[in-house]
Chains A and B, each alone.
Chain A
Amino acid sequence: MDLAFTPLQDELRAQARRFLESTPEPTWASLAELGWTGASVAEEHGGAGLSFLEEAVLHEEAGRALLHAPLWSTSCLLLFLPAEDQAKVASGEASWTVALGPLVPDLDTATSVAIVGGDTVWELAGFEREILATNDPSRPLGVVSGGEPGRELCSSDVLPALRTRSLAILALEAAAVGARALELSVEYVQSRMQFGRPIGSYQAVSHPLASSYTELELARSLAWWAAWCVAEDDPEAAIAAAAARAEAADAAVTACERAIQAHGGIGFTWEHVLHRLYKRALGIQSWEASSAQLRAEVASELLDTA
């Protein structure tokens, strides 16, 4: 077992970190130019031909930066799309979201919408979009109305795999969101003085942050396990992704809550970025299934399949 990142993965992370710090609201076309939208699309379809592991690095960085773009929603479906559609994503011409329930994420930015009907996933045609005011404005939810199944995209057999990819990506994002909140807390408690000392020297402040570090590193381990399982089409992918999403979302929400507490009043305002990280973490925790539901799936796998 070798869990080190490759030099390519390290380089991709450094590039993504730099780009997203200098370009907080990038266009889909600019992400395509960097090769991100088609990272795992085969080279013959205009992609970079990389694996889900390289894409996973991008999802971590996108989470950290609270990227407002349909990277997650497109990536869930991408490899199940017909080749020409994959090529359009790689070129930046198209992006996708899947309308699995009444609330559809990234509807403000995704160019195309997929729906499930019978045993087929279709492109939705001739519909109206309404973007709803959402707690996390970097990932708004919307509703579609009207419309009908247009082009056939793939069989609905892909839905379990699509969900697994979605959960794995959400886990990667969540761990990164939490880690950013922790980083901000560590900086703050070193400089904030009360009673003549930096507040980070009080164990009542530092130990909760140590707990956040512990929980987030464990969550990140699970997220990368899930990512590897997805990349390798491993039979444990579904359970790994469920475990990772449950743990990472919970760890991220808790890390953000501890961060808000450590920041005191300023952490409770719109003056500070923390509330945005917190709202993304809550959004992730709410998506697909609650953490308790995901753990019920794990329990069922452990206890009911003997």
Chain B
Amino acid sequence: MDFRDSADEARFRDEVRAWFDVNLPDELRGHRGGSARFDGPEVRAWSRALYDGGWSGISWPAEYGGRGLSPRFQAIYLEEEARAEAPPHIGVIGLGMAGPTIIAHGSEAQKERYLQPLLAADEIWCQGFSEPGAGSDLAGVRTSARLDGDRFVLDGQKVWSSYAHIADYCILLTRSDPASERHAGLTYMIVDMHGPGVEVRPLTQITGEAEFNEIFFSSAEVPVENVLGEIGDGWGVAMTTLLHERGTLGFALVARLEVQVRKLVSLAADRGASPVQRDAIAREWISLQALRVTAYRSLAALERTGVPGPEGSILKLQWSEANQRVTKLALELLGADAQLLPPNAPYDGYWTLQQLRSRGNTIEAGTSEILRSIVAERVLGLPRSR
């Protein structure tokens, strides 16, 4: 057991920091997660620079354009990216979900075609899983994919799809057998977002920004060779995607929380804090340290056994609630000033935006209710509730 970086880790961390110091444009530093910076041309250019710098696909196999390093280096990168307050690579859906799924289930032709442009931020990906009638209960997917010769014809609607408004491709979960129910009869495919019959409508979020979208399919055509895995085996492929979504997320989340807590402490220093508020700030700092160590415990298990430790399943659950508490505490410290929007808002409206955005944290990528059920059933081994 060692809480220090090894010599290799320290060298890698220094390398990342030095690169960010030189290459991260000032106007992108301290980004607010707002849509203007989320998908603008600067972020595309930044994402390309990350690729050229060798920071995309750190733990991907070298044969697919990655660096083939152990996940701990990916973790260190994510920590430093968050500490630098750099915007994430515009292809986060591709890097974190589509790419690993293609590596696990794709044909050689698919790997050849899609992986390199994904890493290079030349092509952007979105995810089409949730539907108006299939949220936490993903097996209720109804978007239909009707096989017609050498193509599928799509009809249906997806929702909560981040980046869909700028995406080139979508990883889509469909029902290809109309007589099927639940986990059977689903097919996972890659869909060209620029094709006919695909329409995207942005949804304005509680923050006033539009990160995510609805996608409508009306007789959109997808060639059969775009199926990932086998026809009818979409559920298994989708589970790979979700495993990666939850698996790679932990370190980035913890590091972003570290930045939030640091800002909270400096806010308290600026504005003053009552004894009760000081207690709350200490709680959040302690909770952050606990999350950081827990992420590394889970990583140690991943490297030893090939699967993340059970501790990993609590990271997103705990992070989301911590981020809500931290941002709420910041509003409390700001008082009525927090009600102001830019240009009058303190800190350019950072905390107000962050607090509103945080309400989505316990809903997106697995609601807290679903995550508690996962802990209860898969980690503790309790009987299923349904």
- Cα separation A218 to B289 with both chains bound (whole Å): 9
- Chain B residues with CB below 8 A from A1, complex form: 2-6, 9, 72, 296
- Chain B residues with CB below 8 A from A218, complex form: 287, 290-291, 294, 314, 318
- Chain B residues with CB below 8 A from A234, complex form: 3
- Chain B residues with CB below 8 A from A214, complex form: 314, 317-318, 375
- Cα separation A232 to B3 with both chains bound (whole Å): 10
Interface residues of chain B: helix, strand, loop or mixed (majority):
helix
- Chain B residues with CB below 8 A from A190, complex form: 381-383
- Cα separation A4 to B304 with both chains bound (whole Å): 8
- Cβ of B109 within 8 Å of any chain A Cβ, yes or no, is no
- Asked if A219 meets B382 with Cβ closer than 8 Å, knowing A3-B1, A228-B3, the reply is no
- Cβ of B113 within 8 Å of any chain A Cβ, yes or no, is no
Q: Which of B294-309 contact A (CB under 8 A)?
A: 294, 296-297, 299-301, 303-304
- Cα separation A236 to B336 with both chains bound (whole Å): 37
- A225 and B372 contact, CB distance less than 8 A: no
Instruction: Report the nearest B residue to A292, measured CB to CB.
Output: B279
- Cβ of B84 within 8 Å of any chain A Cβ, yes or no, is no
- Cβ of A132 within 8 Å of any chain B Cβ, yes or no, is no
- Cβ of B242 within 8 Å of any chain A Cβ, yes or no, is no
- Cα separation A240 to B208 with both chains bound (whole Å): 40
- Cβ of B268 within 8 Å of any chain A Cβ, yes or no, is yes
- B286 and A246 contact, CB distance less than 8 A: yes
- Cα separation A229 to B340 with both chains bound (whole Å): 44
- Cβ of A243 within 8 Å of any chain B Cβ, yes or no, is yes
Q: Mark B1-39, 1 if CB is under 8 A from A, else 0.
A: 111111001000000000000000000000000000000
Contact of A3 among B269, B296, B383 (CB under 8 A): B296
Tell which of A62-70, A74-82, A102-110, A196-204 binds the partner: A196-204
- Chain B residues with CB below 8 A from A198, complex form: 383
- B380 and A209 contact, CB distance less than 8 A: yes
- A206 and B290 contact, CB distance less than 8 A: no
- A295 and B283 contact, CB distance less than 8 A: yes
- Asked if A299 meets B289 with Cβ closer than 8 Å, knowing A1-B72, A201-B384, A206-B385, the reply is no
Nearest CB of chain B from residue A145's CB, rounded to whole Å: 38
- Cα separation A243 to B291 with both chains bound (whole Å): 13
Q: Which of B259-300 contact A (CB under 8 A)?
A: 265, 268-269, 273, 275, 278-279, 281-283, 285-287, 289-291, 293-294, 296-297, 299-300
Instruction: Report the nearest A residue to B368, measured CB to CB.
Output: A207
Nearest CB of chain B from residue A140's CB, rounded to whole Å: 31
Report which residue of B279, B317, B380 has the largest number of chain A beta carbons within 10 angstroms of its beta carbon: B380
- A210 and B380 contact, CB distance less than 8 A: yes
Q: Mark B67-90, 1 if CB is under 8 A from A, else 0.
A: 000001000000000000000000
- B293 and A303 contact, CB distance less than 8 A: no
- Cβ of B134 within 8 Å of any chain A Cβ, yes or no, is no
- Cβ of A211 within 8 Å of any chain B Cβ, yes or no, is yes
- Cα separation A163 to B360 with both chains bound (whole Å): 42
Instruction: Report the nearest B residue to A198, measured CB to CB.
Output: B383
- Chain A residues with CB below 8 A from B248, complex form: none
- A221 and B290 contact, CB distance less than 8 A: yes
- B1 and A5 contact, CB distance less than 8 A: yes
- Cα separation A62 to B21 with both chains bound (whole Å): 49
Instruction: Report the nearest A residue to B9, measured CB to CB.
Output: A1
Q: Mark A79-102, 1 if CB is under 8 A from B, else 0.
A: 000000000000000000000000
- B293 and A222 contact, CB distance less than 8 A: yes
- Chain A residues with CB below 8 A from B199, complex form: none
- B281 and A299 contact, CB distance less than 8 A: yes
Q: Name the interface size band of chain B.
A: 35 or more
- Cβ of B376 within 8 Å of any chain A Cβ, yes or no, is yes
- Asked if A222 meets B278 with Cβ closer than 8 Å, knowing A1-B3, A207-B376, the reply is no
Instruction: Report the nearest A residue to B5, measured CB to CB.
Output: A1
- Asked if A186 meets B384 with Cβ closer than 8 Å, knowing A222-B293, A225-B3, A228-B1, the reply is no
Contact of A295 among B279, B300, B317 (CB under 8 A): B279
- A298 and B285 contact, CB distance less than 8 A: yes
- Chain A residues with CB below 8 A from B318, complex form: 214, 218
- Cβ of B311 within 8 Å of any chain A Cβ, yes or no, is yes
Nearest CB of chain A from residue B256's CB, rounded to whole Å: 18
Q: Mark A1-32, 1 if CB is under 8 A from B, else 0.
A: 11111100100000000000000000000000
Nearest CB of chain A from residue B110's CB, rounded to whole Å: 36
Contact of A303 among B268, B380, B384 (CB under 8 A): B268
- Cβ of A167 within 8 Å of any chain B Cβ, yes or no, is no
- Cα separation A251 to B144 with both chains bound (whole Å): 47
- Asked if A243 meets B286 with Cβ closer than 8 Å, knowing A3-B293, A214-B375, A221-B294, the reply is yes
Q: Which of B342-379 contact A (CB under 8 A)?
A: 369, 372-373, 375-377, 379
- Chain A residues with CB below 8 A from B376, complex form: 200, 203, 206-207, 209-210
Q: A206-B376, A214-B317 are in contact. List 16 more A-B contacts (CB 8 A).
A: A2-B2, A3-B297, A4-B303, A186-B381, A190-B383, A198-B383, A201-B383, A207-B376, A209-B380, A214-B375, A218-B294, A218-B314, A221-B297, A225-B293, A247-B287, A302-B282
Residues of B within 8 A of A (CB): 1-6, 9, 72, 265, 268-269, 273, 275, 278-279, 281-283, 285-287, 289-291, 293-294, 296-297, 299-301, 303-304, 311, 314, 317-318, 369, 372-373, 375-377, 379-385
26 contacts between A and B (CB under 8 A): A1-B4, A1-B5, A1-B6, A3-B297, A3-B300, A198-B383, A200-B376, A201-B385, A209-B382, A210-B375, A218-B287, A222-B286, A224-B297, A225-B289, A228-B1, A243-B289, A247-B290, A292-B279, A295-B282, A296-B275, A296-B278, A299-B278, A299-B279, A302-B265, A302-B285, A306-B269
Residues of A within 8 A of B (CB): 1-6, 9, 53, 182, 186, 189-190, 197-198, 200-203, 206-207, 209-211, 213-214, 217-219, 221-222, 224-225, 228-229, 232, 234, 240, 243, 246-247, 292, 295-296, 298-299, 302-303, 306
